[in-house]
Chains A and B, each alone.
Chain A
């Protein structure tokens, strides 16, 4: 597919900061989900689900990587975020379902009188898909433009497209382009089973769906330089195509590759990172200092085909 060259514009777009978190990775298995250092008020953690914490950590790490100090005024910043599939956790669902059932069927009366009692009132806040962007905006003091979309890597590319458009037109001067995929849970596994084709030869390991998030700080190069930022990658080109899928026609296919792939275990089948796959891959791959190009290509369940090319700063 065609990629629209970004380098054709007079002003380069650069990634000045990268942040990611992958709870399946060893380094993130322990303290990885410690969101407290990124919160303005630790008390707000009680309102946060896992997806909220993942998003805030990835954004915080990206801002720190960009050299943007904690508490800095981000008046011209915008947030462009893709949130993955529904994040209900099994431990929240099980008591709700158990106490809303009679004779193996849903019972409205039990649901009202007993099932709902099992639900923590804060669950409403923790499961809404617009909460990750709320927590990012609040904790980093961002009031700028936003685009929040759902649910996969195709939509992440749309968030990237929107961020590029807003940067080029001066709507924002710094774009946090993130994705969060809290998907290691009952409902998402059910949905992936429904959508995926896990046939032989697949490069994706559907048995591993890590909870993960990634975020890029995207800026115009001159703007990044002016504030003393240190560009890591240049966005060379990207493109998005779509053909409406026939959702009733049966399993759809998914393919994704990134080259060169120097990630650990790259030769084997890879976990499915969903919406977060591109920013997380860039986090893992950048920093080689070789001025080489990184090319990402994906074809998704829901009819998207997208590609992007990034060049490392030597």
Chain B
């Protein structure tokens, strides 16, 4: 018998804040988290702007930003899940928790690499410094999170690029639903705001170069979009079987009800022209949820602000939703926080949920003149009051990996059990 899966905790580290109230307030006000890059001196690169996290606000001080973000978000999620009801450790026996995390694409620190290859220097500082030297590999935070929170089930990494966090949440949902795992932490963390990350994206012409106007740079679905704005951060959800969550008296934000993923199996740098993979991913998530397109009241788009993604995603939504496509509000969180790559799906899902709990969907900012090929209702005018029942979250990865989630809001908002 499949189990219902509840979201009982959320921990967010984002360019728009590190607590849920701050995040929802900024999203509903249409605030941009973009600005000049401060993490390093990007003066000689074509892209010199990004949406950065205020690292001074974090208690975790790891030299490796992606480790700091993920470990802090996991702490926030556990803490949040225990704001109501019995403690998790008291309710679940032993080390029964699991972890499913989208992690950053493998890169390395150029300053560290130069030290190693040119000067033959290995760090002689603390163990922490030695461990984070090179800022590679990317899975270190996984074990740190498991150790800190006593998670004893084998943790899963997901490296499906921009779809990684959505895959991580979807797989955790499926494993809890099917009784393969008890409770789990799931989400993603990433930071590519470093010389190799930013330069790598510049090299393939993926990022915006609107350096003089950072807050206007990310403009999904707009005619004048010129690439994505790089962001960074992390988001971790606490997922539990709904009956267990209810038994321990937890607050339930929402229920995950469906997950699907797919390959484009098409081009290396461009989506399938008919959005074939995106269509499959959405349909599989809807089928998995046992609902129809007309049951969806909000779509949180992948919405990258790249010339290629936005019209194809629009077309794919039209193919799945048919005549319903004009009815459903669609917005892009990336318009405000940029593209968080392996963390994107998780932070954007949290963004959707915190706004839906307030009775709103957040806007797509900077949509001044829509691309004629982007003709859905992207909520350009500002936050809109919507009673969200089921929402659909899309994440479409570079390299043709696509993932979609269906979530039903809890606590009476759109609940149709």
Contact A121 B204 (CB under 8 A): yes
**B332 at interface (Cβ–Cβ under 8 A)?**
no
**A151 at interface (Cβ–Cβ under 8 A)?**
yes
Our pick among A108, A128, A304 for the contact of B195 (Cβ within 8 Å) is: A108
- Chain B residues within 8 Å of chain A by Cβ, number: 73
Separation of A121 and B261 alpha carbons in the complex (Å):
29
Contact A146 B263 (CB under 8 A): yes
List 22 interface pairs A-B (beta carbons < 8 Å), by A numbering: A79-B263, A97-B117, A100-B110, A100-B114, A106-B113, A111-B195, A128-B161, A130-B398, A134-B263, A134-B268, A146-B261, A147-B158, A149-B159, A150-B137, A150-B138, A155-B157, A158-B156, A194-B130, A242-B153, A244-B146, A247-B143, A304-B154
**A10 at interface (Cβ–Cβ under 8 A)?**
no
CB-defined contacts of B266 to chain A, threshold 8 Å? 138
Separation of A145 and B401 alpha carbons in the complex (Å):
10
Shortest B93–chain A CB gap in Å is: 16
Separation of A157 and B152 alpha carbons in the complex (Å):
16
CB-defined contacts of A247 to chain B, threshold 8 Å? 131, 140, 143-144
Contact B265 A137 (CB under 8 A): yes
Contact A155 B156 (CB under 8 A): yes
**A271 at interface (Cβ–Cβ under 8 A)?**
no
**B147 at interface (Cβ–Cβ under 8 A)?**
yes
Report the nearest B residue to A79, measured CB to CB.
B263
Segment of B40-48, B229-237, B294-302, B351-359 engaged in the interface with chain A: B40-48
**A47 at interface (Cβ–Cβ under 8 A)?**
yes
Contact A44 B146 (CB under 8 A): no
Contact B399 A191 (CB under 8 A): no
Report the nearest A residue to B105, measured CB to CB.
A128
Contact A93 B171 (CB under 8 A): no
Separation of A137 and B115 alpha carbons in the complex (Å):
38
Which residues between 130 and 148 of chain A lie within 8 Å of chain B, taking CB atoms? Answer: 130-131, 133-134, 137-138, 141-148
Separation of A124 and B207 alpha carbons in the complex (Å):
14
Contact B106 A97 (CB under 8 A): no
**B56 at interface (Cβ–Cβ under 8 A)?**
no
**B155 at interface (Cβ–Cβ under 8 A)?**
yes
Q: Which residues of B contact A (CB under 8 A)?
A: 40-45, 103, 105-106, 108, 110-111, 113-119, 127-128, 130-131, 134, 136-140, 143-144, 146-147, 151-161, 167, 171, 174-175, 178, 180, 195, 199-200, 203-204, 260-266, 268-269, 276-277, 280, 284, 397-401
Interface centre among A83, A113, A241, A302 (most CB of B within 10 A): A302
**A86 at interface (Cβ–Cβ under 8 A)?**
yes
Contact B263 A144 (CB under 8 A): yes
**A105 at interface (Cβ–Cβ under 8 A)?**
yes
Report the nearest B residue to A188, measured CB to CB.
B137
CB-defined contacts of B105 to chain A, threshold 8 Å? 128-130
Contact B114 A124 (CB under 8 A): no
CB-defined contacts of A83 to chain B, threshold 8 Å? 159
Shortest A183–chain B CB gap in Å is: 12
Chain A, residues 37-71, CB within 8 Å of chain B (1/0): the string is 00000001001000000000000000000000000
Separation of A94 and B171 alpha carbons in the complex (Å):
39
